[in-house]
Chain A
Amino acid sequence: MRRRLDVLICSGTACLSSHSAKLRDALVRAIADQGLEDEVRLVETGCMGPCELGPVILVYPDGSFYVRVTPEDAPEIVAEHFLKGRPVSRLLWETPQARRIVEEKKQVPFFGKQKKVVLANCGRIDPESLEEAIAAGGYEALGKVLTQMEPTDVIAEISASGLRGRGGAGFLAGKKWEFVAAAKGSPKYVVCNGDEGDPGAFMDRSLLEGDPHAVIEGMAIAAYAVGANHGVVYVRAEYPLAIRRLRGALDDARAMGLLGKDILETGFSFDIELRMGAGAFVCGEETALLASVAGDKGYPRPRPPYPATSGLYGKPTLINNVETIGNVRHILLHGAAWFRSIGTPSSPGTKVFALSGKVANTGLVEVPMGTTLRELIFDIGGGIPDGKAFKAVQTGGPSGGCIPAEALDTPIDYESLTALGTIMGSGGVIVMDEDNCMVNIAQYFLDFTAGESCGQCVPCRAGLPRMLDILRRIASGAGAPADVDRLREAAEMIKTTSLCGLGQTAPNPVLSTLRYFGEEYREHIEEGRCRARACVDLVTYRIDPAACKACNRCALACPVEAIRGTPGRPPYVINEETCIRCGTCREVCPFDAVRVLTGRDRIVNQGQREA
């Protein structure tokens, strides 16, 4: 009997946390109940991207895409769709705006504008099956390299492709490979940096979980090119599923002679060791990572010497990020010219972005470089939910900057983002709407980087907390006009004098919000006003007596019992002393009677109450 349906169930971390494992079990049972075991195969894949909608299921060959499926839905899907061929329309993807049912994956706008290169196999193959990886073209590039190319040819191809490091700074991969190949010293090492630490960024995790063999193959090709026989993958311990799948993939590749001694009987030997990081953000910095692998404290050190000449155990070391490595096999299989046909002249290829924040479709997307932020956020991301207005987008994780609506039509590449005062970074994209206060946002990111400072150099260790103090002061309404200058001065000093990338980039959120949203800082300082009504010290919650219908909902919902009133006898009143400004009353009020006052309105209100 031949299979007629492949049912791909997303088993990425996000879907697993929305109980995709229970759904899988329910599907297995329902398929058995209908006697379809031989005709229908369940495949657990890596992340498909639209994590907001998980658990998701993709059914081939018809391409039906089910979202937010529960275990209770399983019998219906199996009986109606798998048996009778009638897709269950209520569970198929709908776009948030149009509410129009689309039945085919290619019509889903979330997928339509994407170009999957690095993530092509994620969500398509079973990541725990080496055979499926091979069927999807896995290890063909390695075979080609080992049998037909000299190491110098491989480096020339990578250089010609213009591939740039996807981990942050965008350094040319070909140059790095050249330096390591030319460096004197033995043995040489290839290290893959999977210490993905930016809050909200998970492209590396997704590739490691969804297509681990792509990483292994990329590393083996790199090792052949630079003359290394030892590799290390450094993955943070918070990625247990990535670690499990990678470990399994390493074992499978070894068993089949694709890793270890005499790979593909070509005489080339290479093996990879898996190392887990304990989760320090600074260990994503290459010299700190190498120290951590060697068993030392995860401290960065001054460069030069660069790892290319003195890296792991003081030996020449090639260190590339997971996504960079993920591009390697595609470039060698399809050629540098093909790679350059995607993206922009200075930034060829695609980039994976992790969309999060105030955007309808959060998740993982891969687009050609040069795609605009508007396309990313409004077309693929589906825009801002709840009819709110877009305010800013933060790219590049906690070291990146916030850029305003005017910059939305900028094509994304390394240079354009730097010109705007932010960075590509690892590809985090956090969308903010009118309810986000930019002072508050700057404080949030700085709080993260200050906490992750390794404490080795003074500007970062002592300077970031000082900046944080000033931001807290401004957010509480106690700021002085000179505080803005103090912030700028501290930021410039920390940027120029810190030892490593963490300190050098940590002030970016503050500098970029000062540059584009300086007016908000001024309002906080001079008017005691937070226009987003997010800074709790600058807002007062009040019930509008004219709108209140005394339904009692707010009083029941208030977590600190700050609202008093009698049902049916308006108005209800909020006790400002006990109120913690959590906003719950405003959310539950069916009559929109809860007002949030800030600035002058708030002061007037207080005056009235005191009089």
Chain B
Amino acid sequence: MKLEDLRRIRERASKDLGLRTGKARVRIVVGMGTSGIAAGARDVLAAFLDEVAKRDLTDVLVTQTGERGLASAEPVVEVYEEGRPTIVYGDMTPEKARRVVAEHIVNGSPVSDYTIEVREG
């Protein structure tokens, strides 16, 4: 093994440590309270994780949070991005999640059809 090989291993393995370094361009937070789960948040979360992995988006963090109080719009998903407004999506499904990843996360244009709130800062 040469030094270059070592560096290749590091590049591959450091994705594994991404969760622990706290560096992420985008944070996708899925509301996983009781009503969120009842409305299908588990599948939405799984779809986000799957899509992010498939596209190898190493700077995107998918995580979960508790109830936000907006039970009628569950599953609720928030997308935090540095220097940009926070987008809140409602009534999410796995299919919508995949579209959000493609259009919002990758191409930078939030999906207005599903947006229920835009928070500045």
Interface residue? A489 (CB, 8 A): no
Q: How far is the CA of A8 from the CA of B33 in the complex (A)?
A: 24
Q: Interface residues of B: mostly helix, strand, loop or mixed?
A: helix
CA distance A147 to B52 in the complex (A): 37
Q: Are B20 and A124 in contact (CB under 8 A)?
A: yes
- Per-residue CB contact flags for chain B residues 41-52 toward chain A (1 = under 8 Å, else 0) read 000011001101
- What residues of chain A lie closer than 8 Å to B64, measured between beta carbons? 4, 83-85
- The answer to whether A131 and B20 touch across the interface, beta carbons within 8 angstroms, is no
Which one, B13, B30, B49, B61, contacts A131 given CB within 8 A? B13
Q: How far is the CA of A1 from the CA of B94 in the complex (A)?
A: 13
Inside 8 A of A131's CB, which chain B residues have their CB? 9, 13, 16
A493 to B19, CA, bound (A): 58
Q: A116-140: which have CB < 8 Å to B? A: 124-125, 131-132, 134-137, 139-140
Can you pick out 25 interface pairs between chain A and chain B where the beta carbons lie within 8 Å of each other?
Answer: A1-B53, A2-B62, A4-B62, A6-B19, A8-B20, A60-B20, A62-B63, A83-B32, A83-B37, A84-B32, A84-B36, A85-B31, A85-B33, A86-B66, A86-B67, A132-B13, A134-B9, A135-B16, A136-B17, A137-B10, A139-B6, A143-B7, A146-B3, A257-B1, A265-B2
Residues of A within 8 A of B1 (CB): 256-258, 264-265
Tell me which residues across on chain A come within 8 A of B112, comparing CB atoms.
Answer: none
**Complex CA distance for A136 and B16, rounded to whole angstroms:** 10
Q: Which B residues are in CB contact (< 8 Å) with A39?
A: 45-46, 49
Measured CA separation A517–B46 after assembly (Å): 65
Give Cα A6 to B22, complex, Å: 12
CB-CB contacts below 8 Å: A61-120 with B = 61-63, 83-86
User: Does A4 lie within 8 Å of B49, measured CB to CB?
Assistant: yes
Q: How far is the CA of A380 from the CA of B19 in the complex (A)?
A: 27
B72 at the interface (CB under 8 A from A): no
Q: Does A3 contact B (CB under 8 A)?
A: yes
A5, CB-defined interface residue at 8 Å: yes
CA A60 to CA B62, docked complex, whole Å = 11
1/0 contact trace for B7-37 toward A, CB 8 Å?
A: 1011001101101101010000011111011
Contact A3 B6 (CB under 8 A): no
Docked pose: A257 CA to B82 CA in angstroms: 41
- Whether A4 contacts B19 by the Cβ 8 Å rule is yes
Q: Cβ of A61 and Cβ of B9 under 8 Å apart?
A: no
Given A2-B53, A4-B49, the answer on whether A134 and B10 have CB atoms closer than 8 Å is yes
A316 to B64, alpha carbons, bound, how many Å? 58
Other-chain contact of B66, A1, A85, A132, A264 (Cβ < 8 Å): A85
Using a Cβ–Cβ cut-off of 8 Å, how many residues does chain B contribute to the interface with A? 35
Closest to B37 in A: A84
Residues of A within 8 A of B66 (CB): 84-86
Q: Shortest CB–CB separation between residue B116 and chain A, in angstroms?
A: 19
Bound together, the chains give a CA A354 to CA B21 distance in angstroms of 26
The interface residues of chain B lying within 8 Å CB-to-CB of A63 are 22
- Determine the distance from Cα of A244 to Cα of B50 in the docked complex, in whole angstroms: 37
B36 to chain A, nearest CB (A): 8
Main secondary structure of the interface of A (DSSP, over half): loop
Cβ contact within 8 Å between B53 and A84: no
Residue numbers in B under 8 Å from A124 (CB-CB): 20
Considering the chains assembled together, what is the distance between the CA atoms of A186 and B114 in angstroms?
74
In the bound complex, residues from chain A placing their C-beta under 8 Å from that of B10 are 134-135, 137, 140
A61 and B65 CA atoms in complex are apart in Å by 12
The closest CB in chain A to the CB of B31 belongs to: A85
Compute how far the CA of A147 lies from the CA of B49 in the bound complex, rounded to whole angstroms.
40
Bitwise, B71-100 to A at CB < 8 A (1) or not (0) is 000000000000000000000000000000
Whether A84 touches B63, Cβ cut-off 8 Å, given contacts A131-B13, A140-B10, is: no
Q: Which of A61, A85, A256 contacts B61 (CB 8 A)?
A: A61
Report B-chain residues with C-beta under 8 Å of the C-beta of A147.
Answer: 3
Residue in chain A with minimal CB distance to B11 = A135
Q: Are B63 and A1 neighbours in the complex by a CB distance under 8 Å?
A: no
Given A61-B20, A124-B20: A84 in contact with B2 (beta carbons within 8 A): no
Q: Would you give the shortest CB distance from A603 to chain B, in whole angstroms?
A: 63
- Residues of chain B contacted by A256 (CB below 8 angstroms): 1
Least CB distance from A372 to B in Å reads 30
Chain B residues positioned under 8 Å from A140 (CB to CB): 6-7, 10
Q: Are B20 and A2 in contact (CB under 8 A)?
A: no
Residues of A within 8 A of B46 (CB): 1, 39
B63 CB contacts on chain A under 8 angstroms: 4-5, 61-62, 85
| Chain B, residue nearest A8 (CB) | B20
Complex Cα distance, B7 from A264, in Å, reads: 11
Alpha-carbon separation in the docked complex, A265 to B14 (Å) = 23
B19 & A1 in contact (Cβ 8 Å cutoff): no
Which of A6, A61, A139, A256 is the most central at the interface, judged by chain B CB atoms within 10 Å of its CB? A61
Contact check, A134 vs B6: say whether CB atoms are below 8 A apart. Answer: yes
Given that A1-B49, A2-B50, A84-B33 are contacting pairs, would A143 and B19 also be in contact in the complex, using a CB cutoff of 8 Å? no
Bound: A60/B16 CA distance, A: 12
Q: Which of A3, A84, A256 has the most CB of B within 10 A?
A: A84
Provide the residues of chain B in CB contact with A134, threshold 8 Å: 6, 9-10, 13
Residues of A within 8 A of B45 (CB): 4, 39
**Assembled-state Cα–Cα distance A5/B63 (Å):** 8
Q: Are B32 and A264 in contact (CB under 8 A)?
A: no
Partner of B19, one of A5, A84, A139, A264: A5
Within the complex, what minimum Cβ distance (angstroms) separates A448 from chain B?
A: 40
